Amino acid sequence: MTEVGNTFKDIVCTFCGCLCDDIIIEVDGEKIVKNTNGCAISKERFVGHMENRCLQPTVKGNPVTLEKAIQRAVEIIASSKRLLIYGLSSTENDAQREAYRLAEITGSVVDNTTSVCHGPTILGAQESGETTAALAEVRHRADLVIYWGANPAAAHPRHIPHYIRQPGEYIKDPKKDRQIWLVDVRETTTTRMVDRFLKINPATDLEVIQTLRALIRGTKLDVTEVGGIDIKELEEIATAMKTAKYGVLFFGLGLTQSWGRHRNIDAAIRLIQDLNAHTKWGLMPMRGHYNVSGANKTSTWVTGYPYAIDFARGYPRFSPGEYTAVDMLARGEPDAMLNIAADPVAHFPRAAVAHLASIPVINIDPKFNMTSQLAEVNIPAAIAGIECDGAATRMDGLPLYLKKVIDPPDGVIPDRDILRMMIKSLEKVMK
């Protein structure tokens, strides 16, 4: 840790999948007073880390000690027949690893937020493989960068300015030597930051991608437009993609969660694979939560699978659509839920939330969220990368060490330690 007085350098921002690690944090006594280099969201995350904090464990809204809250959580878990463990994308790797252990000893289902964001990306990769990219390589080499169904200006504010619109070893002038394009169904704040905006009709992503594939393969198409774009323009785009020296496609939820879902991603992967017969291309999902990539990674090495895992038989089984949290809840299957570092009540569809409201929920999170209002047990946690250390994975797979810059509030501990306490006492109960 580079520490100058109370200034910390090269701090990793634990908000979005960019995991910018050049943040300078200044601490004055017990307060974070300044964040240099971070975007507006990052500043809010660090300087505002004490806002809206849950500081006190509660059971049914009544303040209790940490031990009492854990005791009640363990009672709920031990008496449940079908526990759902969910979340895990906004915390660090060790908390995730403890969650799998808890799922294994209780025979539960464990799922992370992938199932409601880039789940289709994984299903697409299961069809076709994954031809990925790496952020420094994009900066050094890419002369054509395309964002598809993504709005980095809002969701990943430094993605373009910090990683992409920067000079690299072989791209000396990032304005002249590198084209940045955006494909989306509407104008967004990102539109202003790119060199070219391609507006396609809603729900035509798959058609447009397949058309590009056909054109790249040299097929002549007897149509005048696809997805609202003139075929002449599509031909010109296909040629540009084929003749780029090094291309990268970044895609967001606009592609994964729109009509076609995993088929869109499957087609996009095949498009990139086809292009590699001509030149060099890669693609990368714009992962949202800062450590959702890490959640997939830890889950995969521990269980063999990236999300949607059931331990009911004493070993991991994988079935998206079946062991995914929303589907489980919509079917009314879980009789209790342990939620860690996510806010399902805010993001899940109504039927899933309705079932959530009818079962005991244990919620571990640093802050108050909509799920805490509904949870029977609330346990506050330290914020990884600010109040405790840990590890996380950037959207391109780079692991980074998260540092602690300030003590957590009195009595508040990391979620991994809360989970360890639960496991310890469960092992006693279940013997």
Partner 1 sequence: MAEHLILKNGVVFDPMNGIDGEVMDICISDGKIVEKAPANAKAVDLKGNAVMAGGVDPHSHIIGSKLNVARVTSPEVNRHHPYPATSKTRSGVAGIIPSSFATGFLYSAMGYTTVVEPALPATKALGSWEEIEDIPGLDIGLLPLFCNSMITFKYVEEGDIGGLAAYIAWTLKKVGGLGVKVVNPGGTYAWAYGKNVCGLDDEVPEWDVTPRSIMTGIAQAVQDLGLPHQMHFHPTNLGRPGNVHTTMQQLDAIKSVKPSGKKKEVVHLTHMAFDCLGVVEEGMANWKDVASGGLIFADYYNKNKHFTTDLGQITFGQSMTMTGDGPFQHSLYLLTGGKAKWSNIPVDVELPGGAGIVPFTFEPKSPANAVQWVGSLEFALSIKDLWRLFLSTDHPNGGPFLKYPLLISWLMSKRQRDIWLEMVHKFAVERSTIANIEREYSLNDIAITTRAAPAKILGMDKTKGHLGVGADADVAVYGFNPEKTDLGKNPDLILKHFAQAQFTFKGGVQVSKNGIVAKQIHSRVHTTHPKLNEALSARIDRELEEMMSKWFSHSFSNYPVPARYREHLEIPRVIDSTSVQA
Please report, as ranges, the residues that interact with ligand SF4 according to CB under 6 A: 13, 15-16, 18-20, 38-39, 41-42, 156-158
Closest separation in Å from C-beta 301 to partner 1: 5
Residue 251 CB, shortest distance to ligand SF4, in Å, is 17
- Kindly write down the DSSP assignment for every residue of 332-355, as one continuous string: T--SEEEEES--HHHHS-HHHHHH
Residues 283-312 within binding reach of partner 1 (CB under 8 A):
296-298, 300-306, 311
State the binding partner of 35 from ligand SF4, partner 1, none, CB within 5 to 8 A by kind. none
15 binds, among partner 1, ligand SF4, none (CB under 5 to 8 A by kind): ligand SF4
Calculate ∠ Cα 74-77-80, nearest 5°.
145
What dihedral do alpha carbons 16, 18, 19, 25 form, nearest 10°?
Answer: -80
Rounded Cα distance between 409 and 94, Å, is: 20
Smallest gap from Cβ 279 to partner 1, in A, equals: 5
- Identify which of residues 38 and 320 has a Cβ nearer to ligand SF4 in the complex: 38
368 touches partner 1 (CB under 8 A): no
Nearer to partner 1, 49 or 141 (CB): 141
Residues in contact with 231: Cβ distance below 8 Å, sequence separation at least 6, in sequence order: 211, 221, 223, 224, 225
Residue 5, burial from CB neighbour count under 10 angstroms (0-12, 13-18, 19+) = exposed
213 binds partner 1 per the rule CB under 8 A: no
- Are 298 and 96 spatial neighbours (Cβ–Cβ below 8 Å)? yes
Which residue, 58 or 91, has its beta carbon nearer to partner 1? 91
For residue 84, the cross-strand partners are 109, 337
Contact with partner 1 (CB under 8 A): which of 15, 148, 163, 251?
163
Residue 250 phi, psi (nearest 5):
-100, 130
Between 213 and 404, CB nearer to ligand SF4: 404
Q: What's the burial of 207, exposed, middle or buried (CB within 10 Å: 0-12/13-18/19+)?
A: middle
Distance CA 262, CA 119 (A): 8
Rounded-to-integer distance, Cα 395 and Cα 289, Å: 9
Query: Is residue 27 at the binding interface for partner 1, with CB under 8 A as the rule?
Result: no
The helix-helix angle for 415-430 and 66-79 (nearest 10°) equals 50
Q: How far is the CB of 86 from partner 1 (least distance, A)?
A: 19
Shortest spacing between CB 15 and ligand SF4, in angstroms: 4
- Selection from ligand SF4, partner 1, none that 157 binds (CB < 5 to 8 A by kind) is ligand SF4
Counting contacts by CB under 8 A, is residue 267 touching partner 1? no
Min dist. Cβ of residue 54 to ligand SF4 (A): 22
Which residue number, 58 or 96, has a Cβ lying nearer to partner 1?
Answer: 96
Q: Which residues of 89-116 are buried (b: 16+ CB within 10 A; e: fewer)?
A: bbbbbbbbbbbbbbbbebebbbbbbbbb
Chosen from partner 1, ligand SF4, none, partner binding at 38 (C-beta under 5 to 8 Å by type):
ligand SF4
The region of 153-161, 342-350, 362-370, 390-398 touching partner 1 under the rule CB under 8 A is 390-398
Query: For residues 372 and 356, what is the distance between their CA atoms, to the nearest angstrom?
Result: 12
Q: Phi and psi of 337, rounded to 5°? A: -140, 135
- Pick from 110, 133, 340, 405 the residue near partner 1 by CB under 8 A: 133
By the rule CB under 8 A, 280 interacts with partner 1? yes
Instruction: Please report, in angstroms and rounded to a whole number, the separation of the first and last CA atoms in the chain.
Output: 42
Which lies closer to ligand SF4 via its Cβ, residue 16 or residue 275?
A: 16
Residue 42's binding partner among partner 1, ligand SF4, none (Cβ under 5 to 8 angstroms by kind) is ligand SF4
* Partner whose footprint covers residue 389, from partner 1, ligand SF4, none (CB < 5 to 8 Å by kind): partner 1
Residue 413 binds to partner 1 (criterion: CB under 8 A):
no
| Distance from C-alpha of 342 to C-alpha of 96, rounded to nearest angstrom | 12
Residue numbers of the site for partner 1 (CB under 8 A)? 2, 9-10, 12, 21-22, 93, 97, 101, 104-105, 122, 125-137, 139-141, 163, 169-170, 245-246, 273-274, 276-280, 282, 296-298, 300-306, 311, 313-318, 389, 391, 393-394, 396-401
